Amino acid sequence: MDKNVKKTPFENYLEILSDSANILDLSENVLEKLKNAQNIHTAEISISGGKSFHAYRVQFNNARGPFKGGIRFHPEADIEEVKALAALMAIKCAVVNIPLGGGKGGVQCNPKELTEKELEEVARAWIRAMEPFIGPEKDIPAPDVYTNPQIMGYMMDEFEKIQGRSAPGVITGKPLALGGSAGRGSATAQGGVYVLLDYLKKIGKKPSELTVAVQGLGNAGFYAADILHKEGFKIIAVSDSKGGIYAKEGMNPENIAFGKKECGSISAALEAKNKGELCSEKTCCSPVAITNAQLLEIECDILVPAALDRVLTEENAKNVKASIILELANGPTTPEADAILEANNIVVIPDVLANAGGVTVSYFEWVQNIQNFYWEEADVQVKLKNIMLKASNDIFNFAEENKISLRKASFVLAVKRIVTAMKLRGRV
Ligand code: GLU
């Protein structure tokens, strides 16, 4: 393959899967089933003004429970990406051992160029196209890149209108007032922090000794920076899609989020601050501008990619200086980069474990919707922590016993669980 042609996210999934298949000695027949999605639904959806978009729902595997996974609105969302993300969802749900399968949806659109009204129309049109295939006992979507609780609210409403019944369990990540769960907003980041702290305990490191760089200040990235800051880590670099900032002395993520909200981006906030236009106590001390590429290679202890896939590649992996990578994004590290990081003794806490807190609290939300009884935030946190620590413990031990990376250990454990369910159903 031409070295300059990036492999697709799905090709990357197949590569990791094949490693696990070898370790587990899976038969061709079983492997074939794990290489293919059970159902792929595509549609052309249109909204007023004559705009139309490609829409997708990939239902990868439901051996362990209903399909589960978010919907992303992104210009680069395509069937290859959605398929890979759906497969990762099946693995992720099995890693944390919740009774759900894997699916993913998408709309190929640029939400930054759409009005609020148009976004609502896209959300409702996606549901009209996919309604026959989803439902609380079939397939339960949720938020992903550039979708949020409000979009989930419109989607639930459209589904309920079509079906003429109340069905809050059709979708998770909803606003609290529409049956969302306490703790869902910060769940992806919080789950990752529980796992990271557990790992640091194992290696005898304290938060106060460690510096962190976070790529992507979206939902997962912002909460991660904020929770880690409150835990005592020093946040020295953050970025969004337009660029980032670095401050050796550390920064308070809440202030950075304030600047981003006021000025549109982190870089614009830095410019405004330098011109004296942004209230200085609401920004960090003396940051300098950096690019996203520089952030990945910055001198720090913990790197948190929390934006898009395939940012750590064969080209830049050798320049990574962090000793731990906490993958809050889905698929941020290519298999080639993984090999380089492993050779350089950099520990990667893989996406399917690190960001599984999101779908775990989605699972709680679905349970609460079905039983129509809601839990306090403290209950959610206790349950989330239990599930994350059980999973990290399983994976850390399995990786250590078998001398394999945490990603391989996660995949092997998850594939084993999925195959067990497939066998018990007589599918293989
Ligand atoms: N989009 C999130 C993920 O990739 C959450 C999925 C969900 O809650 O179903 O894990």
144 Cβ below 6 A of ligand 1: yes
Is 24 contained in some domain? no
Q: Which tokens hold the place of 234?
A: 């020093």
Does 68 sit in the ligand 1 pocket, CB within 6 Å? yes
Decide: 211 and 233 in contact? Cβ < 8 Å: yes
Among the atoms of ligand 1, which is closest to the Cα of residue 173?
A: 8
CA 276 – ligand 1 centroid, Å: 40
**Which residues partner with 411 through β-bridges?**
none
Domain that holds residue 119: 38-169
**Which residue is closest in CA terms to ligand 1's atom 9?**
69
Residue 138 in this model has a pLDDT that exceeds 90: yes
Please name the amino acid found at residue 355: N
pLDDT in tens, 168-201: 999 999 999 999 999 999 999 999 999 999 999 9
Are 157 and 194 contained in the same domain? Answer: no
Assess whether the C-beta atom of 142 lies below 6 angstroms from ligand 1.
yes
**Is residue 334 located within the same domain as residue 203?**
yes
Residue after which a domain boundary falls, among 317, 339, 354:
354
Domain CATH code at residue 206:
3.40.50.720
The verdict on 192 and 331 lying in the same domain is yes
Residue 177 domain-assigned (yes or no): no
In a domain, 126, yes or no: yes
Per-residue model confidence as pLDDT tens digits over 402-419 = 999 999 999 999 999 999
Average pLDDT, the chain: 95
| Intra-chain end-to-end CA distance of the chain, in Å | 33
What is the structure's pLDDT at 274?
87
* Separation of CA 197 and ligand 1 centre (Å): 22
3-class secondary structure, 326: strand
Which numbered atom of ligand 1 lies nearest the CA of 100?
Answer: 9
How high is the pLDDT of residue 275?
Answer: 86
Please check whether residue 135 lies inside any domain of the structure. Answer: yes
pLDDT at 284 exceeding the cut of 90: no
Domain match, 328 and 211 both: yes
Residues 194 and 304 reside in one and the same domain: yes
- Out of 44-53, 202-211, 279-288, 340-349, which region has the weakest mean confidence (pLDDT)? 279-288
> What mean pLDDT is predicted for residues 332-336?
96
Please state which of the ranges 19-23, 144-148, 272-276, 362-366 shows the lowest mean pLDDT.
272-276
Q: Are residues 191 and 165 in the same domain?
A: no
Q: Are residue 261 and residue 203 in the same domain, yes or no?
A: yes
**Within-domain flag for 61:** yes
Residues 157 and 197 in one domain: no
The pLDDT value recorded for residue 277 is: 83
Q: Where is the domain boundary, 312, 329, 354?
A: 354
Question: Does 69 sit in the ligand 1 pocket, CB within 6 Å?
Answer: yes
Residues 235 and 200 in one domain: yes
Element (H, E) at 42: strand 39-46
The pLDDT of residue 1: 43
Longest Cα–Cα distance of the chain, Å, equals 67
C-beta 330 within 6 A of ligand 1: yes
| Contacting residues for 41 by C-beta, under 8 A, at least 6 apart | 56, 57, 58, 59, 129, 130, 133
% residues pLDDT > 70 (the chain):
97
Pocket test for ligand 1, best of 92, 309, 359 (most atoms within 8 A of CB): 359
For the chain, how many structural domains are there in total? Answer: 2
Establish if 288 belongs to a structural domain.
yes
Task: Give per-residue pLDDT as tens, 376-406.
Answer: 999 999 999 999 999 999 999 999 999 999 9
202: annotated active-site residue: no
Residues 279 and 148 in one domain: no
Q: Calculate mean pLDDT across residues 12-20.
A: 95
Say if 283 falls within a structural domain: yes
Q: Average pLDDT for residues 272-279, to the nearest whole number?
A: 82
**Average pLDDT estimate for 295-300:** 98
Same domain for 191 and 291?
A: yes
CA distance 228 to 86: 29
Boundary residue ending a domain (303, 332, 354): 354
In a domain, 209, yes or no: yes
CATH number of the domain residue 83 falls in: 3.40.50.10860
* CB distance 70 to ligand 1 below 6 Å: yes
Which pairs from 276-281 meet CB under 8 Å and 24+ separation? none
Confidence at residue 150, expressed as pLDDT on a 0 to 100 scale = 98
Percent of the chain with pLDDT over 90: 94
Atom of ligand 1 nearest to the CA of 141: 9
pLDDT at residue number 273: 87
Amino acid identity of residue 352, one-letter, is V
* Active-site choice (33, 92, 104, 174): 104
Give dist(CA 148, CA 164) in Å, integer.
24
Q: Are residues 150 and 201 in the same domain?
A: no
| Tokens matching residue 101 | 């399968």
- Give, using CA atoms, the residue closest to atom 8 of ligand 1: 359
